[in-house]
Amino acid sequence: MKHRVPILLCAASLAAIALPASASSFAGTSVSSATEGSSDSTSSSSGDDKLVIEAREDAAGFVASDGRIRSARLEAALRVLRERDARMREASDMALAKAVLAR
């Protein structure tokens, strides 16, 4: 006989299903190590730097799709780069996305 699963509402991201070995989340805590090359460097950087690091996969999607896939996080990162550095203001979105990937 099949075990019936009760209907459980929106309890996703329950805390402890994830040991820290996983990319899953617990206690509101994302412990993914799949953010390539950045998990340690994020802890000491400012919010804006962190954003640019976190936007790396978004930038990769943008470059790979030749500009078709643009996420809000990439938009935010591009704006931060332009607001922070006058030289960036003239650069195209594609050039900036590549700059994000080059970091």
Ranges within 34-93 binding other proteins (CB under 8 A): 34-37, 39, 42-45, 47-48, 50-51, 54, 56-57, 59-66, 68-73, 75-76, 79-81, 85, 87-88, 91
Does position 6 interact with other proteins (CB under 8 A)? The reply is: yes
DSSP class of residue 2? P
Q: How far apart are CA 100 and CA 78, in angstroms?
A: 9
Q: Count the residues of the shown chain that bind other proteins, applying the rule CB under 8 A.
A: 75
Q: How far apart are CA 81 and CA 90, in angstroms?
A: 11
2, 23, 86, 89: which one contacts other proteins (CB under 8 A)? Answer: 23
2, 13, 86, 89: which one contacts other proteins (CB under 8 A)? Answer: 13
Does position 27 interact with other proteins (CB under 8 A)? The reply is: yes
Q: How far apart are CA 40 and CA 49, in angstroms?
A: 13
Q: Are strands 29-30 and 25-26 parallel, antiparallel or unpaired?
A: antiparallel
Structure tokens, 47: 């919010």
The minimum distance between CB 1 and other proteins, in angstroms, equals 17
